[in-house]
Amino acid sequence: MSHPEPPPAGGIIHDIGYRGYAGPRLGRGYLLQSLYLQGFRSTFGLGRTARTKVLPILLLIATVLPAVIIVAVEVYTKQDAQLLSYNRYAMFLIPVIGIFVAAQAPQLISRDLRFRTVSLYFSRPLTRADYVLAKFGALASALFLLLSAPILVLAVGGVLAKFPLWQQTKNFLAAEVGALVFALILAGVSGVLAAATTRRGMGVAVIITVLSVSYTAAVAVQGIAQSYNNVTLAGYLGLFSPFTLADGVQIALVHAPTSTPAAPPGAGGKAIFVLVAVLLVAACYGFLLRRYQRLNAS
């Protein structure tokens, strides 16, 4: 009597109909673009729950609404000149910008660190430099949009008010340069603070504290220095706050009117402001790269 053969050792592979992916491999460039767009959208709550959209949308409205009011006054009262310089608008929005960057930088940067999801990104052909570039670029782009939207409204209002077109164009382009400077500096500083504090609530508190205290202290000490007729010292004190530093850079680059107690002193002082801003942004970007290099190595 024959005995049945014993089943083969090990598992049995069943063909259940799954097919391998045979489409195009889009590579690192597509990953970088997707991560950047996802980060940029998330800063305004797009693709997230309705609750997360409330704050960024309210802050965007808060930046645009004063510009709409200024335009309405210029048009209906037939002003001969602008009520507010385009380049000064960013300094006018300091509280709104501070809240926006404090709320969104930790959400964009520290969340992946806290929940340790960064390793999932790096399991794909995405380098640490790509990741930092996408996150930094998304935050800077969101800030640039936040600052550019009211500037665009003011420019349209200038056309409706029939101000000289060429002068309005120059003012608009100069203000866009200033908005870019503000966006890069604030994205660098807030990105470093968010990466250093992985808890979102702590990151929000630290960013608001650093931005508000540094600005208040810099402006107060500038005022004191000016009261003693030390204009040079007052100008250099603007280096110690991201907001006054960015304002000094736009004064140096596009000859914008000053919005702080003292402007950078002379050509040499303006060059120092530009140099410090470049070094600050580079140092912040380098810190972020180092932060993720160390994280991946561990």
**DSSP per-residue letters across 101-158:** HHHHHIIIIIHHHHTT-HHHHHTSS--HHHHHHHHHHHHHHHHHHHHHHHHHHHHHHH
Quote the distance between the C-alpha of residue 75 and its chain's center. Answer: 32
> 13 in a domain, yes or no?
no
What pLDDT does residue 132 have?
A: 92
d(C-alpha 102, C-alpha 73), whole Å: 32
d(C-alpha 83, C-alpha 95), whole Å: 21
> 5 in a domain, yes or no?
no
pLDDT band for position 291 (cuts 50, 70, 90): confident
pLDDT band for position 210 (cuts 50, 70, 90): very high
What pLDDT does residue 11 have?
A: 60
What pLDDT does residue 17 have?
A: 67
Q: What is the dihedral of CA 72, 75, 80, 82, to 10 degrees?
A: 40
CA atoms within a 13 Å half-sphere pointing along the CA-CB vector of 295: 26
pLDDT of 4 strictly over 50:
yes
> 11 in a domain, yes or no?
no
- Please state, rounded to an integer, the average pLDDT across all residues of the chain: 88
Task: Check if the beta carbon of residue 176 is closer than 8 Å to that of residue 145.
Answer: no
What pLDDT does residue 15 have?
A: 65
Task: Check if the beta carbon of residue 132 is closer than 8 Å to that of residue 288.
Answer: yes
Residue 71 CB contacts under 8 Å (≥ 6 apart), including other chains: 153, 154, 156, 157, 160, 161
> 95 in a domain, yes or no?
yes
B/e letters for 156-166, b = 16+ CB within 10 Å, e = fewer, are: ebbeebebeee
> 37 in a domain, yes or no?
yes
Give the best-scoring range by mean pLDDT among 7-16, 69-78, 105-114, 205-214: 205-214
Give the best-scoring range by mean pLDDT among 54-63, 83-92, 105-114: 54-63
Tokens of 173: 């382009």
> 264 in a domain, yes or no?
yes
What pLDDT does residue 297 have?
A: 45
d(C-alpha 14, C-alpha 250), whole Å: 67
pLDDT one-digit tens code per residue, 212-258: 999 999 999 999 999 999 999 999 999 999 999 999 999 999 988 88
What pLDDT does residue 146 have?
A: 96
d(C-alpha 147, C-alpha 141), whole Å: 10
> 232 in a domain, yes or no?
yes
> 21 in a domain, yes or no?
no
pLDDT one-digit tens code per residue, 26-61: 778 888 899 999 999 999 988 888 888 999 999 999
pLDDT band for position 298 (cuts 50, 70, 90): very low
Residue with tokens 């935050």: 139
Tokens of 297: 């190595």
Phi/psi region, residue 281 (left: phi>0; alpha: psi -120 to 50; beta: rest), is alpha
Question: How many CB atoms within 10 Å of residue 115?
Answer: 10
Q: Distances from the Cα of 90 to the Cαs of 182, 222, 292, 294, in angstroms?
A: 8, 19, 31, 36
The count of domains in the chain is 1
The pTM is what? 0.88
Amino acid identity of residue 249, one-letter, is V
Tokens of 159: 């056309």
Q: What is the dihedral of CA 205, 264, 228, 226, to 10 degrees?
A: -60
What pLDDT does residue 185 have?
A: 97
What pLDDT does residue 14 have?
A: 64
Q: pLDDT exceeding 90 applies to what percent of the chain?
A: 59
Residue with tokens 């640490």: 128
pLDDT one-digit tens code per residue, 119-176: 777 776 788 889 999 999 999 999 999 999 999 999 999 888 888 888 889 999 999 9
pLDDT of 5 strictly over 70:
no
Identify the domain containing residue 120 by its residue range: 27-297
- Of 109, 100, 57, 72, whose CA–CA distance to 208 is shortest? 100
What pLDDT does residue 3 have?
A: 59
d(C-alpha 95, C-alpha 168), whole Å: 26
What pLDDT does residue 126 have?
A: 80
